[in-house]
Amino acid sequence: MQGDRIRSEQDLYRHVLDAAAPGGGRAVEVGCGLGLGCALALEEYGPAAITGIDIHPQQLQRAREANSPLLEAQPDRLRFVLGAAEDLPLGDAEFDCLYSVEAAQHFPDLSAFAREAARVLRPGGRVAVTSFFSVGGAPESAERLAGLLDSFASGLDIARPVFRLSDALTEAGFADVRVASIGPQVWPGWDRWLARLWEPGTWPRNFLAAWEQQILDYYLVTATRP
């Protein structure tokens, strides 16, 4: 991955799914949105079944509509379920891997999410989470991010250092917890994508500025349930 570029949302999902290793097992995506990652995982990684979880009913309806051919063709392998990251509507030890792509910045309680991930994973199960977090040690990072980005000012995105998630996973009993910055592979491409929709000087273009100022970065966090 070093030196490579994540050029699309599909590339980002592949990077996370490579770490989550869903092949042959049962997988769950927390914060599935429109179901892009679920469909990609099903078609390219060969899980036995995949469940997409999202807290927004409208998103789940869109996911079902967007993936209606897959749902019709493989009803036993794909499903979308309403639920929160902190209270997953899933059985104990039901899954072999759990992943989440660009949703953890919204989770109000990372410790509760980590405990739920540990509960629903079988021994040996993998968790892989990628999202943006504040850079540890950056002075007044929450205030600075709120000044740059409306999503942080409104509370839609929550400014927290990535160690809050890695520590939560460790406290929940996970082993081999690893944190890797993938910012150099993500941010420049993200800004090029935003440039299609937003003019220079508008607040979404400040994501790149926040990274360049070393107050925000993109991370991949992985762990294993013993």
Among the listed residues 31, 38, 3, 1, the one whose alpha carbon sits nearest the alpha carbon of residue 17: 38
Q: Examine the pLDDT at 28 and tell me if it is beyond 70.
A: yes
Per DSSP, helices labelled H in the chain are: 9-20, 36-44, 57-66, 68-73, 110-120, 141-148, 150-153, 163-171, 183-194, 206-212
> Is the whole model's pTM more than 0.85, yes or no?
yes
Q: Are 58 and 36 in contact (CB under 8 A)?
A: no
Q: Say what the pLDDT of residue 2 is.
A: 36
Compute the distance between CA of residue 166 and CA of residue 82 in angstroms, rounded to an integer: 26
**Residue 94 CB: number of other CB atoms within 10 A?**
17
Q: Examine the pLDDT at 7 and tell me if it is beyond 80.
A: no
Question: Nearest-5° angle of CA 25, CA 173, CA 181?
Answer: 75
